[in-house]
Amino acid sequence: MRNDYIRHPMLLGYRQIEGLWLPNDWFNETQRLTYLIKHWQTNCRIYRFEQGDVLCFAENKTLDCSSIEGWPLIRYGRLYSTAPLDDDELKKLPYADLALVRSGVVTTLLFSQAEPLSLADYLDIKEIHFEETDNYASLYEIKPQALSEEKNIRTIIGDNIPPADDKQKQFIKTVFENASSSSQTQEPHAKASLSLTQKIINNFLTPQNREAMYSSSKTTSQLSRWQHWLNKLSIKSGLASMMSKQQANYINKMMKMFEDGNVDQALRHGIPLSKHQENQETTPSPYLGRLKGRNKLEISDNQQGRKSLYFGDELQNYLKQLYRQQFIKLDKAGRNEEALFVLAELLQEKEEALDYLESFQRYQQAAELARLWAMPPAYIIRLYCLAGDIDSAVIYARLHNAFSYVVLQLQEKHPDIADKMREEWAEYLVDCEDYLQAIDIIWQLNNEISRNKAKHWLEIAYQAGGELSLRSIVKSIFLLPDTVHLYQDDIKKVCNDPLATIQRAILVRELLALPKQTKLTEQLINQLIRPIIVDQYGAHSVLERKEISQFIHKSTNKLFKVDIPQSDIPEPKCYSLDAQNHFISATIPEQGLYAIYDVVALNDHQYLIALGESGVLLTDKAGKQLWHQLTPTYHIVIAENNQSALLLAPRGDYFQISSLAITTQFIQELGTLKCTVFTRNFDGVFWTIAIHNAVHVVDTKNDFKIVWNVDSLNGDIIELLRHNGAEYWLINSEPNERWSYTLPNRWLTQRESLSHTFSEGCKYDLMSHSYYTVKHDKCVLTSINSHYTQRLQLPNTQSIEEQHSLHLISRSAKLIYWQKDELTIFRLYNNQNHCTFELKWPTIFAPQYRNEFSQWYFFDKTGRLVHFNWDNGRVNTLSLLLK
């Protein structure tokens, strides 16, 4: 230690700081430890001297020396100093690690004189709950299941079919390339020639001959010689004007192969016939192009565009009979693969082709072809079951929720398979957290294993509490009468509590849903009947008059049934805002303490709330915490039965995803998945997502494997919406497109371009398939399909800024929101275009909204929630405090 005078005794302004000195005459030990923790970084060193503590940074920091706690240190080689030193001052200092300058006097210290300090000795982590960090090891690159692999006739049936000729393949390609242009370039003399040929044939054909000519495609009669001549006259004259000479030669060559029995070559050159255009009133345009044969014979699917052609009635019917005769010959000769090809590909008789395969019990091939042709799901599942491919059958049954149809079809003739599918059905329902329905399904198997599963699921449902618990009580009394004593206290509480109107209604509806009544369920009905009648005359009645009448009818209390005039029982009071023109003006609550990123209401007047990195929370309607998990959650994807959810947290281009079983409050991390757009609800197992221009349905119970997809769309997906048994896509193509699918079969019902509907200033709503604009003090909504126009009254004439900020969303009601001054105004309109709800929210807090069926939620990052129930007109507000 040595004392010398220093001319500049302190550091000023912004400096690159290498450490911090905390003298003990300035700070007590608690303060020093607080500042050491505050400024500590990885690989820092801390030493404790008698005079104080020193913190040596691993990397320098640029800080304002006047604002930092303690004395900042700069570094000269190994020396840390509290003051700037020149060369002369440095030379005068002895060998040291630390130079402390106070009032111009320097004191030097060595680290060897100090005690190394570890902050770990001062941190108490017993009360800190640690969560696993993000696990990017489970980063899924989703891949289709084996069931979704593309197949053709060779992989399905085998290699017995000869390879197709190149000319036929080129013919198919050029036909569809030139189909649109041919209709515009057709010469007038071509139509005249066809008309003349048609007249000649009509004159030659007697009614009897005409009937034979247009007979069923299954006829077994041979074509007569004069019919050959007439048809060839028609065909050749038509082809001469419709097509090039080369094309006409190709058709003639192909027909001659069939007529001469040159089967292999005929099948290689055969042209598929169109079943879709036969009944059109106008003759389709001719097809042009160079004709080539197949390289291989394969049956096309429905997803690649129709590879079937139409050449006019005469040629169409002639080829149909030619192909039919060839099918009969091949079938009689035992050449089943070639016969199948003629039936399915050339004649396009897909249902008959599947029946043909079934007649030989070739169920696997029939199932693969049925899937290739997008036949009804129940049909495909049944074939997979008969083929013994239960795994594929289960995949399809889960995706389309088609278990009931298959079990019904197989129960009589194949009971073992039906029982297996019933087990899989129950497991699927459990995956959806629908325990009570799963019990109904599996109970019918009547074996010990199934009954034990059902008992376990009943216990889970009972422990869940709320509505599910009450329903499980009725189910237990019905299926397991020996357990009734376990629920007597619960039943008495519900029957005697004057405020338990909703709970009693739950029990009534579950009792009415039973297939039959037992002595114990009749006793429960008799216990409930009096309080239920009292409830019906109250202000908060729930049950319909019809339900009350049915319940009284099931009662065994004959005197009571006589005393109660059922016609006088009142209907429940209807509060639906669709039937009324009430106006409700809601007020936002006070600010809370936690940010709300997303919210949904559950069945038992509870809220599931996303808190961002702070996790996910379940509260009652007053905001009281019921449970809290630290799983990061920004978005909630809720199951349609409200019993499970997916919890999403964005991680760059990916989402960290966990599943929540609301019934058991169990959270499982599923992994990290890339998606750009997703639906906000799902069926409990399968979830629709989009990755740029591809839409995938993924199995959330099986590593996000794709079970259905459409890729290579014309543009990226802008929006995905699942609502009321349908799914809607908005595609950012040129022009934009709207695709509509029915669920669960996922059949495309509409594909429409939006180019012709938009004008300047118009906006589009996906759900209602309408465009809207603002005119003065009205929002004008016009349906694209029907051009039906609705005018929604706004409170004032909209300024240009207000018009730009205005948006409309159509669900159970029509929501309009816009920004005015410093407020965001939300308005809901019923189906009579009357405004029934208004809410004003300071725009600075960036209010958000969400809709699930008849429930509307409005919330912000300050912990405020406004919940509006469209069905009963009730508003609930809460501030998320969690004190």
Question: pLDDT at position 161, please?
Answer: 62
Write down the CATH number for the domain with range 584-596+675-879: 2.120.10
Between CA 850 and CA 848 the distance in angstroms is 7
Question: What three-state secondary structure class fits 624?
Answer: coil
Give rounded-to-5 percent helix, strand, coil for the chain: 35, 25, 35
CA distances from 346 to 310, 326, 362 (A): 12, 11, 21
Which pLDDT does position 582 carry in this prediction?
Answer: 80
Cα 36 to Cα 31: distance, rounded to the nearest angstrom: 9
Per-residue model confidence (pLDDT) at position 557: 80
Low-confidence ranges of the chain (pLDDT < 70): 1-7, 127-248, 275-312, 563, 565-567, 574-575, 579, 756-761, 883
Measured between alpha carbons, how far is 327 from 586 in angstroms, rounded to an integer?
73
In sequence order, which residues have a C-beta less than 8 Å from that of residue 355 and are 6 or more positions away?
none
User: For 433, how many CA atoms within 13 A lie in the half-sphere containing its CB?
Assistant: 24
d(CA 867, CA 855): 7
Residue 297: per-residue pLDDT = 59
Chain centroid offset of residue 327 CA: 45
> By CB neighbour count within 10 A (0-12 exposed, 13-18 middle, 19+ buried), where does 220 fall?
exposed
pLDDT for the residue 167: 67
| Cα of 695 vs its chain's centroid, Å | 10
Decide the pairing of beta strands 79-81 and 71-76: antiparallel
* Strand order from edge to edge, sheet including 770-775: 763-765, 770-775, 778-783, 789-793
CA atoms within a 13 Å half-sphere pointing along the CA-CB vector of 85: 25
**The two three-digit tokens of residue 91, written as one number:** 């030379």
* Structure tokens, 862: 């300050």
* Type and span of the H or E element at 560: helix 558-563
Please identify which residue in the block is written with the tokens 């940074």.
57
Amino acid letter at 588? I
Check residue 484 and give its pLDDT.
Answer: 93
Cβ neighbors of 375 (< 8 A, separation 6 or more) are 350, 354
Candidates 490, 458, 489; CA nearest to 476 is 458
> In whole angstroms, what is the distance from residue 636 CA to residue 811 CA?
19
CA atoms of 75 and 71, how far apart (whole Å): 13
Residue 141 CA from chain centroid, whole number:
18
Residue 273 per-residue DSSP state: B
CA distances from 675 to 199, 242, 718 (A): 61, 50, 12
The model's pLDDT over 227-259, given as tens digits with 9 standing for 90+, comes to 455 455 544 455 444 455 666 677 788 888 888
Digit-coded pLDDT (tens) for 500-527: 999 999 999 999 999 999 999 999 999 9
What is the spatial distance between Cα 66 and Cα 70, in angstroms, rounded to a whole number? 10
